[in-house]
Amino acid sequence: MNAPEQVAPLARAAAADRAELARRLREHTRGEVLFDAASCGRYATDASIYQIQPLGAFVPTSDDDVAAAIAIARELGAPLLPRGGGTSQCGQTTGAALVIDGSKHLRRVIDIDVEARTATVEPGLVLDHLNAVLKPHGLWFPVDVSTSAQATLGGMAGNNSCGSRSIAYGNMVHNVLGIDAWLADGQPVSFGPVAGLVGRERAIAVFVRGLALRHHGEIEARWPKVMRRVAGYNLDIFHPQSERPYTANGSVNLAHLLVGSEGTLAVTRRLRVQLAPLPRHKVLGVVNFASFHAAMDSAQHLVTLGPSAVELVDRTMIDLARANPAFRPVIETALTGHTGGTPEAILLVEFSGDDRAALLGQLRQLVELMADLGAPGSVVEMPDEAPQKALWEVRKAGLNIMMSLKGDGKPVSFIEDCAVPLVHLAEYTDALTEVFARHGTRGTWYAHASVGTLHVRPILDMRRDGAKKMRAIAEEAAALVRKFKGAYSGEHGDGLCRGEWIEWQFGPALNDALRAIKRHLDPGHLLNPGKIIDPPKMDDASLFRYSGGYRTIALTPVFDWSAWDVQNNPTTEQTTAPGTGGDPTSGLAKAVEMCNNNGHCRKFDAGTMCPSYRVTRDEVHLTRGRANTLRLALSGQLEGGFTSDAVAEALELCVGCKGCRRDCPTGVDMAKMKLEFTAQRAAERGLTVADRLLARLPDMAPWARRLPRLFNLRDHVPGAKALTERWLGLSARRSLPRWRSDSFAAVAPGLGLATRAQVLDAAARDGKGVVLFVDTFNGCFETENARDAVRVLQAAGYAVHVATRTDGAALCCGRTLLAAGLAAEAKARARELIDAFTPFVDAGIAIVGLEPSCLLTLRDEMLVMGLGEPAHRLAAQALLFEEFVAREQRAGQLALRLRAATQPMLVHGHCHQKAFGAMPPVLEVLRLIPGADVGVIESSCCGMAGAFGYEAKHHAVSMQMAELNLLPAVRARPDALIVADGTSCRHQIADGAQRDAWHVARVLAAHLAPAAATA
Ligand SMILES: Cc1cc2nc3c(=O)[nH]c(=O)nc-3n(C[C@H](O)[C@H](O)[C@H](O)COP(=O)(O)OP(=O)(O)OC[C@H]3O[C@@H](n4cnc5c(N)ncnc54)[C@H](O)[C@@H]3O)c2cc1C
Ligand code: SF4
Ligand code: SF4
């Protein structure tokens, strides 16, 4: 759906009541009521291909809020749609309903019973968070979905989710012990073992048992006899068909009726789940296969050894991993000579438990089994944890690379989890591969060979003939599933793309029985209508996010997005040349559309993505929310378009950390998108005085270093801070960087710097010439860093030249101008930089910078400013100080004598260093210091992010970001020397923890051995 007139009929019918619904929610609850167009747009999608405009979104703060919302919606006849992380792949969480997002507040662990190994939790709790709480008790919740960092327990129960180790632990339905919920009429119910039920719960159990009895024969005949069946409602709890019993003692648990019901029967309030002991040991056997067929055929034999997982990685993924320099060495450890090092598939066979000797025995059995099957020497044994972990990472990354295919054809998820009995797996996958080929596409296979559920996503273009092919492929896949007596819906649920297949799977009589269950529990069809019962057609184009009618507005971007403006070939995955994709926004829209809503950016690990979400937990302040907002704006679905206030709001708290550029599986680069937006908006609306002032900060340097007292007045004159907060929006709680008279320009003459001719000469003579790019921050506010960088490089035997503009002024990367939206001026600065550095670049001399955000601008933004080949050549030789030192050390060029460390060191990485994989050199360089004890703070953005943290309106969020990990880690180590290369990071550490953090150049200089120090 992509235009207002395409709003689903239900939404139109209920539109009149939206205002009243919002009014009452605001009056009677404490939750957030999000009914504006942009919020609705953000809640209109999940990780599926669908988009349906909700009535509005509601973020409850408590159970009382949920109960009140159910009551209000019932009175108004408004449908409800409970939602967790919104990572469903089939459209379960899209609907013309009031979306209730429980993931922000309803996420407590209510109780853990270590003895009984049970936990009671709220539905919005994320699986990884539960497992972090359980770990100290030696327990875990073992339904290990790959979205464990963002999937909520409520959503997992809603979908009857399954993990990689389901062969050992089962699906959600096998691990849920009880569910407290509200029915559609608002009545709270408590579902658990049937024997203990009374009242309404008992009546429901009696009703469902009656249905199961009546349909005994049909259940027996039609129900797939595989563990991985998640379609429809679990009517078979009274006549179990799953390979694995639903309960340990064979009893019936009514909570299992709600598992997999996709929010259509009740709204979950609490879940009681069964925990498992954390296995102490894991060993891995990687089996290499010469043919994909052989891999599939062997799965049935491998499971007899009792593995905890058997996971497939196919040839495409192996090749993708091999093409990546970081993953190549890892994947190669998993390959045997058996297939000449080029297997068509590998199976990762994991054994886990407490008895390591027994596990090693199982590993030996695996080797023997493969020899018996005619493939001796096909197993790589990995008994140790580190290589196992590295290999699992490669598997994940391979999938990510696959998902990052540019162009309108995308791997589409709709038959990605059919489950077939293992004896038929080889035949099934062969046949489906042929189906793909017949429809001019192909799929990459991966995942759960142990339970016959292989993920595969054919590449389809939903804007063109994708829907037609989707239907044809689905029908042929379904016929295969029927032939092999499998389950069409085996892991990710029914939602919109598999709803219509429920009746196909179970037949009309059982489908009527499922409808009777719905009618009994939700007679008004208020809960997530259109899912499981009365679903639409999977290829109803009016429900697609992208359909034939999808269009983008025309826009001339400031930056070069042509790399995304391409089309692809679904069988070869080759893309056309940049700029040939036919995008009226020259690639910007296609870059935005790379977001497939998988929700990976909702993770909470202390990596880099996404700090503003980690602080706020708001969909709007999440990379996904931002990408959706931009997509809506660029496709004419949001009033005001690309430069609207709604887009501004979504981008407001994006700190431009570039974490998404690195961590997002599809490479959504929101930092760059924000620069594009800022430039477009600045061109349209102009800038504030404060924006102009901050943008031109580098221009003030020549004056400020002459009159530092005057320029520093703001922090010394009483009342000036309050005034600048009022006039300029600069937080009164922040000190500003201090201008100094001993700037780098002032001290440079005494540093023995090489002239241009000398450095060129040194480089030609022995390669020991280097050009230092002294940025404004290190040149004006923290001169010691630039000075120490010179000392270290000179001590290591290099001639150091500091390049300037032709008029002798300091060079600037233009970052502050870019951040303010002054793209043309930034481009002019970039040109100056290129002009100044090109003679050295041509001579093969490295351009070395100190401030990550400045230096890395040369390797990132400057490449999309239309500056041509010289910009690319400069980027290829632009290095951070530590990258240069590490490189030279590795090349045996560095003659640096350092004295021993006297203090442990704790490093905080700048976001851009992390985004560009530039952290290892920092550690490498610090470890050149004899006896260095170097630790890394697991932190994301420090929260300062250029001007962001100085702004009064962002001060609180800025400090919250810092308090997530960075400041507590700094405070916890008063003994350590804090190392941080980012000027903003150092300022934040000083403000928040009153500690002086050092640039790595300063650390090295402080450890120069005396002779070298005086050299
Ligand atoms: C890249 C990727 C990998 C995935 N891997 C796996 C995997 O390994 N295994 C797997 O099983 N799935 C997988 N999924 C699918 C999905 O992540 C899981 O099903 C996940 O458990 C959904 O959790 P969620 O919090 O996002 O739920 P949501 O998508 O928000 O909701 C799921 C369903 O639960 C319902 N629901 C949510 N909260 C409540 C509530 N309080 N009361 C009643 N109903 C509620 C919703 O209405 C919806 O129908 C994957 C998805 C992606 C994008
Ligand atoms: S921004 Fe990236 S990580 Fe986030 S949902 Fe979109 S594709 Fe996934
Ligand atoms: S740049 Fe950083 S803050 Fe902005 S969306 Fe990406 S991860 Fe989030």
Query: For residue 12, what are the contacts with CB-CB under 8 A and spacing of at least 6?
Result: none
Task: Indicate the pLDDT class of residue 322, thresholds 50, 70 and 90.
Answer: confident
**Tokens 């055929």 found at:** 297
- Determine the residue type at 959: M
Rounded-to-integer distance, Cα 943 and Cα 330, Å: 34
Task: Indicate the pLDDT class of residue 912, thresholds 50, 70 and 90.
Answer: very high
Torsion of CA 325, 329, 332, 333, to 10 degrees: -160
* Angle at 663 (CA atoms; ends 658, 669), nearest 5 degrees: 40
Q: Tens digits of per-residue pLDDT, 291-308?
A: 999 999 999 999 999 999
Task: Indicate the pLDDT class of residue 877, thresholds 50, 70 and 90.
Answer: very high
Q: Is the dihedral of CA 64, 67, 72, 75 positive or negative?
A: negative
- CA–CA distances in Å: residue 693 to residues 527, 690, 819, 937, 986: 53, 5, 12, 33, 22
pLDDT at 1011: 66
**Tokens 């990990």 found at:** 965
878-885: average pLDDT? 98
Task: Indicate the pLDDT class of residue 14, thresholds 50, 70 and 90.
Answer: low
Rounded-to-integer distance, Cα 42 and Cα 64, Å: 25
Residues with CB under 6 A from ligand 1: 46-47, 81-89, 92-93, 102, 123, 145-147, 151-152, 154-156, 158-159, 161-163, 262-263, 267-268, 491-492, 528, 598
Residues with CB under 6 A from ligand 3: 609-612, 623, 626, 654-660, 670-671
Rounded-to-integer distance, Cα 343 and Cα 401, Å: 19
pLDDT at 399: 67
Number of H helices, E strands in the chain: 44, 27
| Residues of the chain above pLDDT 70, percent | 96
- 610 C-alpha to ligand 3 centroid (Å): 5
892-901: average pLDDT? 94
Closest ligand 3 atom to the C-alpha of 911? 2
Q: Tens digits of per-residue pLDDT, 127-162?
A: 999 999 999 999 999 999 989 999 999 999 999 999
For ligand 3, atom 4, name the residue with the nearest CA: 654
Rounded-to-integer distance, Cα 649 and Cα 626, Å: 9
Assess whether the C-beta atom of 627 lies below 6 angstroms from ligand 2. yes
- 664 C-alpha to ligand 3 centroid (Å): 10
pLDDT at 5: 34
Lowest mean pLDDT among 29-33, 724-728, 955-959: 724-728
- 880 C-alpha to ligand 2 centroid (Å): 29
Asked if 98 and 69 count as a contact pair (C-beta separation under 8 A), the reply is yes
Nearest ligand to the C-alpha atom of residue 651: 3
Rounded-to-integer distance, Cα 44 and Cα 56, Å: 9
Classify 60 in phi/psi space as left (phi over 0), alpha (psi -120 to 50) or beta: beta
* Angle at 535 (CA atoms; ends 534, 540), nearest 5 degrees: 135
**435 has a pLDDT exceeding 70:** yes
**DSSP string of 62-99, one letter each residue:** SHHHHHHHHHHHHHHT--EEEESS---SSSTT--SSEE
Reported in sequence order, the residue ranges of 303-378 that DSSP labels E, i.e. its strands, are 309-314, 345-353
- 615 C-alpha to ligand 2 centroid (Å): 18
Mean pLDDT for the chain?
A: 93
For ligand 2, atom 1, name the residue with the nearest CA: 624
Closest ligand 3 atom to the C-alpha of 658? 1
pLDDT at 588: 98
Which value, in Å, is the radius of gyration of the alpha carbons in the chain?
30
Closest ligand 2 atom to the C-alpha of 596? 7
Reported in sequence order, the residue ranges of 678-726 that DSSP labels E, i.e. its strands, are none
326-331: average pLDDT? 86
Q: Is the peptide bond before 610 cis (omega within 30 degrees of 0)?
A: yes
Rounded-to-integer distance, Cα 866 and Cα 205, Å: 68
Closest ligand 1 atom to the C-alpha of 528? 47
- Determine the residue type at 67: A
- Tally Cβ neighbours within 10 Å of residue 899: 15
- Tally Cβ neighbours within 10 Å of residue 537: 14
> Which has the higher per-residue pLDDT, 513 or 733?
513
**pTM of this prediction?**
0.95
pLDDT at 534: 96
Task: Give the residue, out of 103, 401, 564, 600, with the most ligand 2 atoms within 8 A of its beta carbon, to mutate for a pocket test.
Answer: 600
Buried b or exposed e, range 329-347, using 16+ CB within 10 angstroms? ebbeebbbebbeeebbbbb
Asked if 489 and 230 count as a contact pair (C-beta separation under 8 A), the reply is yes
Q: How many CA atoms lie within 13 A of 403 on its CB side?
A: 23
**Helix, coil or strand: residue 703:** helix
For ligand 1, atom 21, name the residue with the nearest CA: 156
Assess whether the C-beta atom of 592 lies below 6 angstroms from ligand 2. no
- 671 C-alpha to ligand 3 centroid (Å): 6
**67 has a pLDDT exceeding 90:** yes
- 628 C-alpha to ligand 3 centroid (Å): 14
For ligand 3, atom 3, name the residue with the nearest CA: 654
Nearest ligand to the C-alpha atom of residue 654: 3
Rounded-to-integer distance, Cα 684 and Cα 645, Å: 12
Fill in the DSSP letter of residue 803. Answer: -
Asked if 453 and 418 count as a contact pair (C-beta separation under 8 A), the reply is yes
pLDDT at 1: 36
873-882: average pLDDT? 98
- 47 C-alpha to ligand 2 centroid (Å): 9
**Tokens 């890892």 found at:** 330
Q: How many CA atoms lie within 13 A of 10 on its CB side?
A: 21
- 138 C-alpha to ligand 2 centroid (Å): 32
Asked if 550 and 463 count as a contact pair (C-beta separation under 8 A), the reply is yes
Torsion of CA 72, 76, 78, 81, to 10 degrees: 10
Assess whether the C-beta atom of 600 lies below 6 angstroms from ligand 2. yes
Asked if 382 and 392 count as a contact pair (C-beta separation under 8 A), the reply is no
Task: Indicate the pLDDT class of residue 940, thresholds 50, 70 and 90.
Answer: confident
For ligand 3, atom 6, name the residue with the nearest CA: 660
Closest ligand 1 atom to the C-alpha of 106? 41
Closest ligand 3 atom to the C-alpha of 611? 3
Q: Pull the structure tokens for residue 592.
A: 């935005």
Q: Pull the structure tokens for residue 12.
A: 């139109």
Closest ligand 2 atom to the C-alpha of 602? 4
Buried b or exposed e, range 497-517, using 16+ CB within 10 angstroms? bbbbbbbbbbeeebbebbebb
Nearest ligand to the C-alpha atom of residue 103: 1
**1015 has a pLDDT exceeding 70:** no
- 125 C-alpha to ligand 1 centroid (Å): 12
604-626: average pLDDT? 92
**881 has a pLDDT exceeding 50:** yes
- 853 C-alpha to ligand 1 centroid (Å): 37
Q: Tens digits of per-residue pLDDT, 168-177?
A: 999 999 999 9
pLDDT at 159: 98
- 275 C-alpha to ligand 1 centroid (Å): 19
For ligand 3, atom 5, name the residue with the nearest CA: 623
694-707: average pLDDT? 75
**937 has a pLDDT exceeding 90:** yes
Rounded-to-integer distance, Cα 353 and Cα 277, Å: 9
Assess whether the C-beta atom of 596 lies below 6 angstroms from ligand 2. yes
- 601 C-alpha to ligand 3 centroid (Å): 9
- Tally Cβ neighbours within 10 Å of residue 24: 20
Lowest mean pLDDT among 617-631, 653-667, 701-715: 701-715
Assess whether the C-beta atom of 628 lies below 6 angstroms from ligand 2. no
For ligand 3, atom 8, name the residue with the nearest CA: 610
Task: Give the residue, out of 594, 615, 660, with the most ligand 3 atoms within 8 A of its beta carbon, to mutate for a pocket test.
Answer: 660
Helix axes 955-964, 983-993, angle to 10 degrees: 90
Query: For residue 550, what are the contacts with CB-CB under 8 A and spacing of at least 6?
Result: 2, 463, 544, 635
Q: Tens digits of per-residue pLDDT, 734-750?
A: 887 887 788 899 999 99
For ligand 2, atom 6, name the residue with the nearest CA: 595
For ligand 1, atom 49, name the residue with the nearest CA: 262
- Determine the residue type at 491: E
Assess whether the C-beta atom of 598 lies below 6 angstroms from ligand 2. yes
**396 has a pLDDT exceeding 80:** no
Nearest ligand to the C-alpha atom of residue 180: 1
